[in-house]
Chains A and B, each alone.
Chain A
């Protein structure tokens, strides 16, 4: 298995632009998590899905952030409009029996 696949690996965008991050979970895993990692706050859970349904989005910072999981093999995290404080590494992880496996992350820089 190729593991959790995230794209793009790096994204540089201007403030105000829309950013879409993509994730393909491990086949057969039924839960998917989006995290954000910064030096200031460490690893923060943004949202997680179980069987494609959002279960807990209490970590989503504000309405500018949205996430979807249209099917078991694909999820997106969208930021619109983006702001410099959104700069971070965003990780997607999929879970089997409580063990989460992470992708390589998307490093987002908003200038």
Chain B
């Protein structure tokens, strides 16, 4: 059949609820991870990062959790607001000293008022 583009996972939440966006990565050698937010018509915006020697890092209203055992990364957004509606990407650095990032396909978050 005809391909219509990437099928993004979607998450729809009510304003004020907490959101959890998940990401699986494949490279066990990855040692640095970043979450980006991309609003329509804009470039990806850095939200928060975490190194592989940590399992949790908190920012303002956001928390990133890293589970290296199952190669899973999550972004938690507290008290989600309509302005949080965007596509969220996780990115991993493959280690070995390179600054090259590999991006996931993204999750579309919609916050309903």
Contact = CB atoms under 8 A, between A and B. Distances in A.
Interface of A: 4, 31, 33, 38-43, 45, 48, 50, 55-56, 91, 93, 95, 98-105
Nearest to A92: B43
B88 interface: no
A56 B6 CA distance: 25
A30 B92 CA distance: 19
Most buried by A among B34, B42, B44: B44
B42 to A, nearest CB: 6
B43 to A, nearest CB: 4
6 contacts: A40-B5, A42-B103, A42-B106, A98-B34, A100-B91, A101-B46
Most buried by B among A93, A100, A105: A100
B44 A104 contact: no
Contacts, number: 56
Contacts of B43: 4, 91, 93, 102-105
Contacts of A33: 100-101
B99 A42 contact: no
A48 B98 CA distance: 10
Contacts of A105: 42-43
A108 B85 CA distance: 25
A98 B93 contact: yes
A3 B89 CA distance: 20
B45 interface: yes
Contact of A42 (B100, B101, B105): B105
Nearest to B45: A102
B28 to A, nearest CB: 18
